[in-house]
Structure 1
Amino acid sequence: MQRSLSAYIVLFLVTSIVTVIARMPLSVVLYVAGAPVLADSVSGTVWNGRIENGYVLGYPLGNVDVSGKFLPLLRGRAAADVEVDGPLVSGTADVSVGRKRLVLHDTALDINLAGIAIMDAFGAPMSGTVRAKTDRLVVDTGQGQCLEGTVDVWTNTLERSAPRYGGRGFPMTGIGQCEAGAFVLPLAGEGIDGKAMANVRFGNRDYQTELIVEPRQRNLGQLLVGFGFQQRGNQYSLIQRGKVVP
């Protein structure tokens, strides 16, 4: 009888905890977990919430629908399946936030480069899309460091910028990974204009990009020199550094 009573008490306590958490406002959960989120409004509960005009680490996400998970909350972390639809990012992700760490699982996002304020190799604001997929990526939100994981990347930024200067451009692909706190991404592509490789490094809102182009037409090479590229045989290279500004 005593064991049965103890079992009922445990069951009652667990049920009560689940009920309380299920009714917790999403805004409270984000605050307790220390999530780096600002928004015009946060509505709903942890199970079915919505963030209106949200920002993460200063970057605009737009509207975010959140479907929370129970067990991580018991460990002081906020975890949820997230669907983002905003001016900078759109897509889906399994997100976990806590102890100044952001963890992405099973994530597929489209990123609008025009919203990141990076200049392209020709001195114009970068445009186009980055499609990023990752099974797992861990970021230190306090230090702005990439800690663990790989990301499959596709981008059409060269395809978008080249026509302004008489070329056609082509998509570029690569797999990025964390190295010494930075996110390092090698990209490569080839098209009717020639070949291109890029080595991109992001670290704590700083970036460095080395772009190497091997054009098939001589006049394109002369054009690249006019934009500051250094010629080495058949290849033309340019290194850019700057800040990623939201």
Structure 2
Amino acid sequence: MIGRWIFVRDAALEGPRSRWGRLALAVIVVLALIVLLPLRLVLGLAAPENVSARSVEGSVWDGRIADLNLGPLPLGTVEAGLEPLPLLIGRAQFSVMREGFSAKAYAGGGVSRANGSLALPDGLGGLPVTAISFTDFSAGFAGGTCTQAEGTMGLTLASLGPLLPDAIMLSGKARCEKGALVVPMRGAQGMEQLTLRLTADGRWQADLTLSGLSQVTADALRAGGFDTRPGGIGIATSGTF
């Protein structure tokens, strides 16, 4: 009788209902692993090499990244999470948000719907840039070429000296040009022009031209590293993100 009961029990465990039970358990385990997947692990696999952070906490869907840096661009501490809907078309897209700034970043290099401003305490190369701003800004690269660029980018430059005591604010529309992301910017008076160029390998160039300056002001800036340009003076700088 005991042997027959064991046989019946084993047969029940091997039946269709038991197989469905094991499948359901496996699905639950997989879903739990997905839900609890650490953001740190996914970020390590998906983020470009020039991304660094002090710490990464939380799940891939709802995490926190402390002191996030994209090359020389400090994003600070942000809330970040993988968005599920873009996964349906094979795109790993993250929402990134902090006070005064938000954006969508996706694996492989690219950003969309960036809005807000970020401080640049170390400047931008040889330019005393104090902040960078975005308005509905999007940019993407594929195969080493700029494939998408739209929206507005702006830069704020600190005073260039006692003869130019006011900060300079420039902005312009982004576009793709000869495989690079290019943003030609102008100041409010049109006397300040800056062109920012970024290639897929992270190299950037910034060229600033100032016109309409007095001879005394122009001479002072030339003594500080500016060169003579047609109609004004200028300075160029470059680096790598």
What is the TM-score with the length of structure 2 in the denominator?
0.70
> How far apart are residue 57 of structure 1 and its match?
4.7
Contact 1:30 1:78 in 2 (8 A): no
Contact 1:215 1:221 in 2 (8 A): no
Aligned in 2, Cα 1:231/1:42: closer, same or farther, shift over 3 Å?
Answer: closer
Helix, strand or coil for the counterpart of 1:27? helix
Alignment-derived partner of residue 96 in structure 1: 106
Alignment-derived partner of residue 136 in structure 1: 138
Alignment-derived partner of residue 156 in structure 1: 156
Helix, strand or coil for the counterpart of 1:119? coil
RMSD (Å), alpha carbons: 3.6
Contact 1:118 1:244 in 2 (8 A): no
Aligned in 2, Cα 1:33/1:231: closer, same or farther, shift over 3 Å?
Answer: closer
Mapping of residues 61-76 of structure 1, within 5 Å: 61-73=75-87
Mapping of residues 145-224 of structure 1, within 5 Å: 146-157=146-157, 160-191=158-189, 195-203=191-199, 204-215=201-212, 217-224=214-221
Helix, strand or coil for the counterpart of 1:171? strand
Rounded to whole Å, the distance in 1 between the matches of 2:239 and 2:45 is: 31
Within the alignment, does 1:238 sit opposite 2:234 as a pair?
A: yes
Q: Deviations over 1:120-149 (max 9, x none)?
A: 2xxxxx132121123532145x96x64322
Contact 1:47 1:67 in 2 (8 A): yes
Identity within the alignment, %: 22
Alignment-derived partner of residue 123 in structure 1: none
Q: Deviations over 1:53-101 (max 9, x none)?
A: 334457543322113322444666532321146xxxx61112222xxx1
> How far apart are residue 39 of structure 1 and its match?
3.0
Query: 1:219 corresponds to which letter in structure 2?
Result: V
Rounded to whole Å, the distance in 2 between the matches of 1:115 and 1:76 is: 37
Rounded to whole Å, the distance in 1 between the matches of 2:147 and 2:154 is: 22
Rounded to whole Å, the distance in 2 between the matches of 1:52 and 1:67 is: 14
> How far apart are residue 237 of structure 1 and its match?
3.1
Q: What count of residue pairs does the alignment treat as equivalent?
A: 218
Contact 2:159 2:168 in 1 (8 A): no
Please list every run of 5 or more consecutive structure 2 residues that lacks an aligned counterpart in the other structure.
1-16
Helix, strand or coil for the counterpart of 1:164? coil
Within the alignment, does 1:40 sit opposite 2:42 as a pair?
A: no
Aligned in 2, Cα 1:197/1:74: closer, same or farther, shift over 3 Å?
Answer: closer
Helix, strand or coil for the counterpart of 1:29? helix
Aligned in 2, Cα 1:72/1:18: closer, same or farther, shift over 3 Å?
Answer: farther
Please list every run of 5 or more consecutive structure 1 residues that lacks an aligned counterpart in the other structure.
121-125
Alignment-derived partner of residue 23 in structure 1: 36
Rounded to whole Å, the distance in 2 between the matches of 1:83 and 1:150 is: 20
What is the TM-score with the length of structure 1 in the denominator?
0.69
Contact 2:95 2:102 in 1 (8 A): yes
